[in-house]
Amino acid sequence: MGQIEVDHLCKYYDVHQKEPGFSGSLRSFFRRKYFHVKAVDDISFGIEPGEMVGFLGPNGAGKTTTLKVLSGLLFPTSGRVEVLGFTPHERRAAYLKQFTLVMGQKNQLIWDLPAIETFLVNKAIYEIPDDQYQMTLKELDDLLELAPLIKKQVRKLSLGERMKCELAAALLHRPRVLFLDELPEFRRDALEGLRQPLEEAAFSLGNVSERKAVEAFADLIEDELNVKTVRLLDASTEAVSHSVKPLPKQLGQKYGNKFPALQKAILAMNAEEVARALQAGGSVRVLLNGDSYDILPDEVEVKAQAKEGFAVAEEGAYVAALVTELTPELVQEGLAREFVRRVQDLRKSANLDVADRINLFVVASDSLKSAIEAHHDYITSETLALTLGFAEPPAEAPLVEDGFDGEKVKVGLVKA
């Protein structure tokens, strides 16, 4: 059973329609006109633990409405919804402590206070133990670079900075399910905290013009995704495999006692060919005892599984794949970038001017020291360091001690 199960969910509204002007208001007072809105119309899906799923669609497609139903803010018109074994609209306390919903247009942060104050309020609400709170906050700071932000008034933060803090506040109690709604400005700002480069991103696309666009803008895509190379997949099956599962409810109702034989016939077909046809919105023809049956996309569940060494996102004919294997060189580069982030934070806490030159003093674990040496020029350029030496910082120097990715570092700076 999936962590989230949605079966034939519908959410309909009757919306009041009024003519303009005073006469329209008067007529509406005595004889109101309504029109029927199908915000969500008969959708079914399941999400397993560990899966990340995105809703794609135009404004008004029902994405936010679905999330509100899943979080229990709206009561469904019909259908069945279960999240973590709970019925969301019952709003049981045991369920409310296990998920979080972050919405781009709704704030939980207290506007005139620093974000850390909201963090402490959430700590009390969710009864988070002190040690767990500190550990989680440290993890979120490592990921999102929160330290320079959480002591500023929320109203003085940029939108991207505010969304980082909104997400952190929502994750402090370590929810099992995270719902995100319309966070376009958060994506780039927050993901800049993910400093580990990867070797390759590869794509399978729908048409020739799209493939040419990827090739033409490969440099830009490499920079945006923090990868070394961008290429086109020879075939989508290079990175992902598919399995198909005939759905008993849909096919059983439609074909009755013929379903077991149809199920066997579908499973005997080439799963990749079946998946490709159904994901393109077409049907699959099945021959059975001299008769042919057209199987529709909503009658078969298609599941994608990333092949070893890839992380994959798929939508219809489109596949995006990241090569997840980390070479020693990539690991070193990631460590160097993490080190740069610590130095930049130290510059801020020391109230240095953006153009100030510095001398760095570093004490680091062996692997981190090797990474710093290998990326010496990059580090000194990024941090405006005239010198970078492996020695104890002077007694009066601003310094920071930290640990990340199994490494330890002490770094101090002196203004040049």
What pLDDT was estimated at residue 181?
84
Q: Comparing 1-88 with 97-194, is the CATH topology the same?
A: yes
pLDDT score of 169 more than 70: yes
Q: Which two tokens stand for residue 68?
A: 């509100």
Return mean pLDDT, the chain. Answer: 86
pLDDT score of 216 more than 50: yes
What pLDDT was estimated at residue 185?
42
pLDDT score of 188 more than 50: no
User: Where are the domains positioned within the chain?
Assistant: 1-88, 97-194, 198-237+308-325, 240-306, 329-415
pLDDT score of 296 more than 50: yes
Please tell me the pTM assigned to this model: 0.48
Q: How far is CA 404 from CA 145, 169, 338, 401, 408, in A?
A: 13, 22, 8, 11, 7
What pLDDT was estimated at residue 146?
87
The domain 97-194: what is its CATH number? 3.40.50.300
* C-alpha to C-alpha distance for 144 and 193, rounded to whole angstroms: 5
pLDDT score of 314 more than 70: yes
Q: Which two tokens stand for residue 207?
A: 């048409």
* C-alpha to C-alpha distance for 409 and 403, rounded to whole angstroms: 6
What pLDDT was estimated at residue 199?
92
Higher pLDDT, 70 or 349: 70
Per residue, what are the HEC states of the chain? CCCEEEEEEEEEEEEEECCCHHHHHHHHHHCCEEEEEEEEEEEEEEECCCCCCCCCCCCCCCHHHHHHHHCCCCCCCEEEEEECCECHHHCCHHHHCCEEEEECCCCCCCCCCEHHHHHHHHHHHCCCCHHHHHHHHHHHHHHHCCCCCCCCEHHHCCHHHHHHHHHHHHHCCCCCEEEEECCHHHHHHHHCCCCCCEEEEEEECCCHHHHHHHHHCHHHHHHHHCEEEEEECCCHHHCEEEEEEECHHHHHHHHHHHHHHHHHHHHHCCHHHHHHHHHCCCCEEEEECCEEEEECHHHEEEEEEECCCEEEEEECCEEEEEECCCCHHHHHHHHHHHHHHHHHHHHHHCCCCCCCCEEEEEEECHHHHHHHHHCHHHHHHHHCEEEEECCCCCCCCCEEEEEECCEEEEEEEEEC
Q: Report residue 193's pLDDT band, with 50, 70 and 90 as the boundaries.
A: very low
Give me the residues paired with residue 288 across strands.
Answer: 291
Average pLDDT over residues 76-99: 91
Average pLDDT over residues 372-376: 95
Exposure pattern of 50-71 as b/e (b: 16+ CB <10 Å)? eeeeeeeeeeeebbbbbbbbbb
Average pLDDT over residues 231-250: 86
What pLDDT was estimated at residue 133?
92
What pLDDT was estimated at residue 86?
92
pLDDT score of 90 more than 50: yes
Fold (topology level) of 1-88: Rossmann fold (3.40.50)
Average pLDDT over residues 163-170: 88
% of the chain at pLDDT higher than 70: 93
pLDDT score of 328 more than 80: yes
Reading across the β-sheet that carries 385-389, which strands appear in turn? 385-389, 358-364, 407-415, 399-404
Q: Report residue 349's pLDDT band, with 50, 70 and 90 as the boundaries.
A: confident
Q: Report residue 144's pLDDT band, with 50, 70 and 90 as the boundaries.
A: confident
* C-alpha to C-alpha distance for 201 and 226, rounded to whole angstroms: 9
What pLDDT was estimated at residue 412?
94
Of the candidates 111, 187, 83, 239, which has an alpha carbon nearest to the alpha carbon of residue 231?
239
Q: Which two tokens stand for residue 413?
A: 């700076």
Q: How far is CA 80 from CA 69, 99, 382, in A?
A: 11, 18, 53
